[in-house]
Structure 1
Amino acid sequence: MASTTPLLGTELVDCARANAKQGIETAAYQCGYGNDLNKFAHELRQACEEMNLQVKELTELITDQDLILQIGTGEVVAPDTASEL
């Protein structure tokens, strides 16, 4: 669900990170900036600087943990019933 007001600080970084894979337009919209990509990028850069994060592109917010979680959504191998092992 998109924020009704523009996010700032750690909330902005968290939201941008969660939506980074979908691209800057989606991330800006979800973070409450609508189509104002310049304002979104400026505020995100400022929030990252305040958190001592050196980020030049939105995709740099995607962590290895995010990639592992995405890869880990494979097939579950389990017995057909509780009595079968």
Structure 2
Amino acid sequence: MASPTPLHGTELVDCARANAKQGIETAAYQCGYGQDLNKFARELRQACEEMNLQVKELSGLITDQDMILQLGTGEIVAPDTESEL
């Protein structure tokens, strides 16, 4: 659900990171900036600086862990029944 008001600080960074894979337009909208991509980018850059994050573009917020989770479609190993171990 999109934020009804523009987010700032850690909330903005968290929201932008969660939507980074969908692109800047989606991230800006979800973070409450609508179509104002310039303001979104400016506020996000400022929030990242305040958090000492070295991010030059939105895709920089996607972590290695996010990529592993996306690729992690491995096989689940579990017992057939609760009594079988």
- 1:36-78: CA deviations, max 9, x gaps? 0000000000000000111111000000111111111334344
Equivalent residue letter for 2:8? L
Q: Which runs of 5+ in 1 are unaligned?
A: none
What is the DSSP-based 3-state SS (H/G/I as helix, E as strand, rest coil) of the residue aligned with 1:20? helix
Distance 1:12 1:43 in 2: 8
Query: How do 1:6-85 and structure 2 match up within 5 A?
Result: 6-78=6-78, 81=81
Equivalent residue letter for 1:13? V
Pick which of 14-23 and 65-74 moved more.
65-74
Paired residues in the alignment total 85
- 1:11-49: CA deviations, max 9, x gaps? 000000011011000000110101000000000000000
Q: Which runs of 5+ in 2 are unaligned?
A: none
Equivalent residue letter for 2:73? T
Give the C-alpha shift of residue 83 in structure 1.
6.5
Equivalent residue letter for 1:73? T
What is the DSSP-based 3-state SS (H/G/I as helix, E as strand, rest coil) of the residue aligned with 1:6? coil
The two structures have a TM-score, normalised by structure 2, of 0.88
